[in-house]
Every structure is written in structure tokens, then in C-alpha cells.
Amino acid sequence: FGVHGVGGIWGAIATGIFASKNVNPAGADGLLLGNPRQIAVQFLAVLITIVYAGVMTFILAKIIDKFIGLRAEPKDEINGLDLALHKEAGYSELD
């Protein structure tokens, strides 16, 4: 989220601020060129996207959890997932 989420949100909001018909005649001017409605549209689009992504992630996580599970076994977490999944110790030089 820190890269694509924040960058995407800023890009969408910045479009509402800096948009110009000089750059894209088919688009709309942004806030700086006298169109405050465009930034409202961009905020709404960001909100809808966040809700959609959250709902779809929740649904997919529930489906995955139902069929194969989302969590490793507690004993595997304690022993280390490299050992549990790959049958070799990760970072053995630190032992």
C-alpha cells in the first residue's frame, strides 16, 4: 500500500488539482484552473476505489481461508517457515 496505494491516491487527487484542457482537450480543467468540481470527482473516485479494493480483498481472503487457510500452523511459525515449507533453515549463519 505504501507505494502503489499512496502514489495512486496522490496521482488521482493531483489530477483534480492540476488537470488542464490544454494538455487533454477531452478532459476537464482542475482546481487550479477554476474547476473545483474536478477535485471532488477525483476524491470520490479514490473513495470508491478504496472501498472496492477493501471489499474484494476481504471476499478473496475469506475464500482462500475457507479452502487452504491464510495462517501457517503455530508450530511452523515458531520453528520458522523456511524449515516448515522448504525443509531448510533460512539465515542459518545467524544460529
3-state secondary structure the chain: CCCHHHHHHHHHHHHHHHCCCCCCCCCCCCHHHCCHHHHHHHHHHHHHHHHHHHHHHHHHHHHHHHHCCCCCCHHHHHHCHHHHHHCCCCCHHHC
Distance CA 81, CA 32 (A): 52
> Total structural domains in the chain?
1
Is residue 80's pLDDT more than 90?
A: no
Specify if 91 maps to a domain: no
Specify if 53 maps to a domain: yes
Distance CA 85, CA 95 (A): 19
pTM for the full model?
Answer: 0.76
User: What is the predicted pLDDT for the residue at 10?
Assistant: 97
User: What is the predicted pLDDT for the residue at 30?
Assistant: 97
Specify if 57 maps to a domain: yes
Domain limits at 53? 4-69
Distance CA 72, CA 42 (A): 40
Specify if 84 maps to a domain: no
User: What is the percent of the chain with per-residue pLDDT over 70, rounded to a whole number?
Assistant: 98
Specify if 31 maps to a domain: yes
Mean predicted confidence (pLDDT) in 20-26? 96
Specify if 77 maps to a domain: no
Specify if 82 maps to a domain: no
Grid cell of 56 as nine digits: 474484494
Specify if 78 maps to a domain: no
